[in-house]
Amino acid sequence: MNNFELYNPVNYIFGKGQTEKLATLVPKGAKVLLAYGGGSIFKNGVHNAVTSTLNGYDITEFGGIEPNPRFETLMKAVQIIREQKIDFILAVGGGSVIDGVKFISAAVNFEGDAADILKKRILFTDLSKVIPFGTVLTLPATGSEMNSGAVVTIEATQEKLTLGGSALFPKFSIVDPTVITSLPKRQLQNGVVDAFTHVMEQYLTFPHDALLQDRFAESILKTLIEVGPNVVENPSDYKLASNFVWSATMALNGLIQKGVPSDWATHMIGHELTALYEIDHARTLAIIGPNLYKVMFETKKDKLAQYGERVWNITGNSIEEKAEKAIVKTVEFFHTMGMKTKISENAENIEKTADFIVNRFEERGWKAMGEKQNITLEKVREIVEMSY
């Protein structure tokens, strides 16, 4: 097992009706920026629940944070906070809103060009230099409510980049699984596949000595497989909803990555498909993941076989046979979850996709990725072309 540090100070408040606790969590007397996305919180009652609970607070609203939040949009919120001397941010939304708020929190007091936060991957570890924030989750998928990382897109250059650091954990996150009742089926499908792939990025590498983390990862995968296909049909079933939402948090709150190697190349390639064609994030993962496992078969076959045996109860006469069956099962699961696993089923004029992505990686100086740093740009090309 690799050495690790586990630090996650988020006060994570889970369950029905927990939004009521908001007034005990937002600091008394704080000037609050209430940040949200496209306005679904007005339709599902969450905006009303939040503002009534925070009756008496000085609240400025900032809506319109888009899916794959844009640097350009977020900087408008940064300006408002600076002008109005706001000292607490409440993110009400899904991963995009929460990721956006992490960037806003970091950018307000940042000296210099705020785009450098993303371009130079600056780490935020000093609580006194960020604006504290809490979250009310309305769309489970990314785990952002219980981690300190974020992904932000610079529209001007079509770059999807990351930021993070221990100062960027939410102070609290309110997670009420009943909010998924009003979500469109497509977003629920995305949420399940996104969470599933988050686990795979941290699990599907090679056999190692971290026995407990492997079992935790398999626990999340099995739970998502058990509840995923049903929760998208019956999101008001609390048993299904609560296990889905909790699994999505646990998939990316840092726990299962401690002490183990991780891959993340599926995300790195997938981010480019979103930047290029605006394909939903989760759908890019469903396209790329299985093809990456095929191209990197020699590296990953041992872990694929373990995954097949333990998660899918696959039997077979050889490692290779079990590993191949495990990939087939994964693709079938993504299809069950409504994913179309070819780029051509999700976008048009895709002939130059591989060229574009490989060039983009080259520009950034990326030579290889993955848990063994052996997913070279040639392999990336092969993965993308296999995904057409």
Give contact residues for a second copy (rule: CB under 8 A): 1-18, 209-212, 215-216, 218-220, 222-223, 226-227, 238-239, 242-243, 246-247, 250, 255, 258-259
Residues 298/375, Cβ–Cβ less than 8 Å: no
Find the shortest distance in angstroms from Cβ 203 to a second copy.
13
Q: CB of 359: closest distance to a second copy in angstroms?
A: 39
Question: Rounded to the nearest 10 degrees, what angle do helices 185-203 and 265-277 cross at?
Answer: 150
CA nearest neighbour of 2 among 147, 292, 202: 202
Beta carbon nearer to a second copy, 218 or 272: 218
Pair 145, 200: CB distance under 8 Å: no
Distance CA 39, CA 219 (A): 34
Whole-number minimum distance, CB 178 to a second copy, in Å? 11
Give the span between the Cα atoms of 87 and 265, in whole angstroms. 37
**170 vs 270, which CB is nearer to a second copy?**
170
Nearest to a second copy of 4, 42 (CB atom): 4
Q: Which DSSP category does 66 fall into?
A: P
43 or 239: CB nearest a second copy: 239
Cβ proximity to a second copy, 22 vs 255, nearer residue: 255
Min separation Cβ 347 and a second copy, Å: 34
- Separation CA 152–CA 164 (nearest Å): 11
Name beta bridge partners: 58.
31
Q: Which residues contact 72 (CB under 8 A, 6 or more apart)?
A: 154, 155, 156
Both structure tokens of 323: 């590993």
Cβ distance to a second copy smaller for residue 41 or 227: 227
